[in-house]
Amino acid sequence: MKFSQALMAIAAATAMQVAVAEPAHATGKIKCEAGPQSGWVSREKLEAELKAKGWKIKKSKVDGGCYEVYGTTPEGDRVEAYFHPVTMEKLLVSRRGKVIFRKKG
């Protein structure tokens, strides 16, 4: 019994450690160092640009300093895509966790 209680204490401590170690939204998939938000293009502008290219957009948000967009590509694929918030360059596209495009470098 003592051993199992010790194990549970360790488990609880580990869980708390994991919970506090990382801010909730940084997923670690990709990071953009794009300076202060005042220099970013707006999310509306990015969305409008993508829609003009044939994307359908479900939702967009800031993640890891990048813009993250959930939607459908012009080819019809349901994806999650990351864009640079200043240059609007496409950085990473994944489908259900599987990476299908990553910008070189």
Residues that bind another protein (CB under 8 A): 1, 3-4, 7-8, 10-12, 14-15, 18-19, 22, 27-29, 58-59, 70, 76-78, 94-98
Least distance CB 66 / another protein (angstroms): 14
Work out how close the CB of 39 gets to another protein at its nearest, in angstroms, rounded to a whole number. Answer: 28
> Would you state the structure tokens that stand for residue 25, as one six-digit string?
């939204």
Query: Between 36 and 76, whose beta carbon lies closer to another protein?
Result: 76
- Closer residue to another protein in complex, CB, 19/52: 19
Give the largest Cα separation in the chain, rounded.
64
In this structure, the chain runs to a length of 105
Nearest distance in Å: CB 96, another protein: 5
Q: How far is the CB of 82 from another protein (least distance, A)?
A: 11
Give CA–CA dist 23/62, Å, rounded: 13
Task: Give backbone dihedrals phi and psi of 34, rounded to 5 degrees, phi first.
Answer: -120, 15
80: three-class secondary structure by DSSP: strand
Cα separation, 8 vs 25, in Å, equals 27
